[in-house]
Chain A
Amino acid sequence: MSADIVPDLSVELNGVTLKNPVIAASGTYGFGEELLPFHHPSVLGGFSTKGITLYPRQGNRGIRLHETRAGMMNSIGLQNPGAEVFVRDIAPRIRGLTGCLIANVGGSDIDDYVQAVAMIAAADVDMIELNISCPNVKCGGMAFGMRAEDAASVVRAVRPVCPKPLMVKLSPNAHDLVAVALACQEAGADSLSLVNTFNALAIDVHARKAVFDNVTAGLSGPAILPIALRMTRDVARAVRVPVIGMGGIETGEDAAAFIMAGATAVQVGTAGLVRPDALPRIVEELAAFMAREGIANLGQIRGIV
């Protein structure tokens, strides 16, 4: 065994150096502070905040979570304190927690996106992740990520007000995912992250009605990994910009699979909800995997499949 290999896990993403490719996924890591009793966010490559919208949102009422086999569904409805509070109170407080602070931004129409991105990108954050795929917002949100022309219109609109690297988060529910990815790249996206949750349905057969008030909700977790992996590869082969892959990652080897499928970095969501030390463990497991396999850096395996 090449036990003497000390693998280099660092990755370069739009001019920002991440110490490793493991990023906490939006909506599953709060604003980073919630995890502090368990690990310091700086052990990760970075984290993406809960989705922030121009104005505060209360989120959905009723049941917000439902467990499925090997996964979970959520219908949080983008509960967040709004861009102003984020910029004034939260961003300065959490800035020091990570070397790569990604502000995830949601919206329900183009003007909201533009105003929110303009405010948030002016704060001390490293990147913007534009969520064009949240399936929970009734008007708008879904539509942008579904069709290439809608996705391009929102990316084109926010591009001029975003001096920071702009990551666009794609919906796996898109009619033609590769077409949406290419359209976002053309419209000025600096990187693409995928996948957001799959639009899904759970029925309470005893009550004879949908589990969620909104009827459908977003599926995440290990159940979606093979589909997310295939989609990551499809997109990575089609675009020039870096791709950040996610969907069901639980182990270091899962992360390695996404890199082999062409991802520059990965995000992890649900696994971190299952146990709060999951993300640091994934980093350690990935390092151990690389050491065992004699992989000196991630460039050696990126996109090899």
Chain B
Amino acid sequence: MTTDLHVVIRNQHVAPGILRLTVDGGAAQPVQPGQFHMLKTEAPEPLLPRPLSIHDVEGDLLSFLYEVKGAGTRAIAELVPGHRIRVTGPLGRGFDVQDLRGRILLVAGGIGIAPFRYLARALVAAGRDRLTLAAGFRGLPYGIEDFAGVVDDIRIATEDGSAGIQGRVPVLYRPQDFDVVVACGPVPMMRAVQQGCREAGTRAIVSMEARMACGIGACLGCTTQTTTGMRRVCADGPVFPADEVIFDER
């Protein structure tokens, strides 16, 4: 874990409103798929850093795939090569690659696809050859090309029918066909994964989102309700067994 300014190598659109940022990794540290970093530009505003998942690690380069949502991600989107950005991490508990075996399904909702490239590469490197990706998008898909040559079975759903099957991600799979399901995306999607897997008796793992301030477990601002009490998404997660998470009813 370090906090340093890193040089922007690339920061390019891969789709409207979706960019890939690559920074010089500096002191390359071991990172686990599913971990994240806190990023903040050198501008005073916005004040707080923003959490972004590790999208990939190649040699000394670290990359992030992100969607422009508000002021924080907009400020990051304005960076050009040579600019510097504060990167703190790697943070949190990621996916335990050793623990993922058999028929593995990765379920992504929108930008929830971000951590899956590095995870898929790590799974393939660990000899897992039965990988499926089910990705859902509102409109045109993005980030899928990252899985070419890594995952053979790629299934796409779009709500507007612009690509793949029209509908939401659950139309793409039956949980009972898999040994473990790994999900990252909006809460309604993860709730659906939790429920579907519970009914099918399939183990499920989710990567949670929360608003964060410190990202290191110090402020208790990012907690989520679990069967073992309020837990910090940044330090106790973001990856949790789906059965431990209690999704808010609202």
Contacts and interface: CB of A to CB of B under 8 A. Distances in A.
Interface size class of chain B, counting residues whose CB lies under 8 Å from the partner chain: 20 to 34
A74 B221 contact: yes
A276 B217 contact: no
Interface residues of A, number: 34
A275 B221 contact: no
A159 B156 CA distance: 66
B40 interface: yes
A85 interface: no
Interface in B218-242: 218-223, 225, 229-230, 235
Contacts of A34: 214, 216-218, 235
B203 interface: no
Interface of B: 1-3, 40, 44-49, 86, 88, 211-214, 216-223, 225, 229-230, 235, 248
A22 B250 CA distance: 42
Counting chain A CB atoms within 10 Å of each CB, which of B217, B220, B223 scores highest? B220
B47 A67 contact: yes
B86 A275 contact: yes
Given A37-B1, A79-B230, A276-B214, A67 B46 contact: yes
B219 A28 contact: yes
A28 B229 CA distance: 20
B220 A273 contact: no
A270 B218 CA distance: 11
A34 B211 CA distance: 18
Contact of A64 (B48, B49, B86, B221): B221
Given A63-B211, A70-B44, 16 more contacts: A27-B220, A28-B214, A28-B219, A30-B217, A38-B1, A50-B220, A59-B223, A62-B248, A64-B211, A65-B211, A66-B211, A67-B46, A67-B47, A72-B48, A74-B213, A273-B218
A261 to B, nearest CB: 23
